[in-house]
Copies of this chain bind each other. A is one copy, B any other.
Amino acid sequence: MSAITPTEKPTVGIEEAMQEPVPETAKKLVIFAWSGELDKIWPTLILATTSAAMGQDTTIFFTFWGLFPLVKNEKRVTGKNWMQKMLSLMNRGGIDHLKLSKMNFLGAGPAMMHSLAKSHKVASPAELLAMAKEMGVKLVPCQMTMEMMGLKREDLIDGLEEPAGATTALLDAQGAATLFI
C-alpha cells in the first residue's frame, strides 16, 4: 500500500496472523457500501485498494445511498419521475461532490478534509476509485437500488461490473471478511 500510505509500518498483528494458516477462501473482502458520504467512501476505497494490493479477491457492492458516488460527476439530475429527480437534486451524486456525515458546514468540512488528506499524501476518493478499477476491485452496483432510485446504467461511471442483486453479493460474501459501511 506504499502508494497510499507510504509511512505505514505494519508492526502489529502480522506475526499472530501468520501463526495459524488462514484458509485460502478467507483471503477475500466484500464491502457493502451503503453510505454515500465522503467519510464513509474514503475508508471503503482505502480498505478495498489495500485488500487488492495484498492480492485478495475484493468486491464492493454499492447499494442505497452508496450508489450516488458512482454517478458521473457532470450528471446533475437523474431519474424518470419527479420523486427520483428530486432525490438526485437533494442528494447530488458524483465522487467529487460528496459531503461529510457530520461537520459538513456547507462544504467547508469536506474542503478541509481534502486539504488535510492532500498534505499527508492520502489519495482522494476520485484517485482511489480509479486505482480500485485498475487493481481489479469488482465494483458492483445494486440493481434494485438503481431501479428504485431511477439510476440508469449510463448515469453511472464506466468500469463497473454488471448491476446485480443481494443473492450475488451474499454468494460472494461466503467465507470472506465482510463489512457494511
Binding site for B on A (CB under 8 A): 1, 4-5, 7-14, 16-17, 20-27, 29-30, 32, 34, 39-40, 42-43, 46-47, 50-51, 53-54, 56-57, 59, 63-65, 83-84, 86-87, 90-91, 102-103, 112-113, 115-117, 120, 122, 138, 140, 143-144, 147-149, 161-162, 164-181
Contacts and interface: CB of A to CB of B under 8 A. Distances in A.
A138 B12 contact: yes
Contacts of A161: 12-13
Given A7-B147, A8-B143, A34-B43, 12 more contacts: A5-B165, A9-B143, A12-B140, A12-B162, A12-B164, A14-B168, A14-B171, A29-B173, A39-B64, A46-B144, A47-B166, A120-B148
Q: How many copies, total?
A: 3
Contacts of A113: 148
A59 to B, nearest CB: 7
Contacts of A179: 32, 178-180
Contacts of A148: 113, 116-117, 120, 122
A54 B103 CA distance: 38
A146 to B, nearest CB: 10
Contacts of A13: 59, 138, 140, 161, 164, 168-169, 171-172
B178 A181 contact: no
Given A23-B25, A180-B180, A172 B54 contact: no
A151 to B, nearest CB: 12
A174 B177 contact: yes
A3 to B, nearest CB: 12
Residue among A21, A42, A57, A175 with max Cβ neighbours from chain B (10 Å) = A175
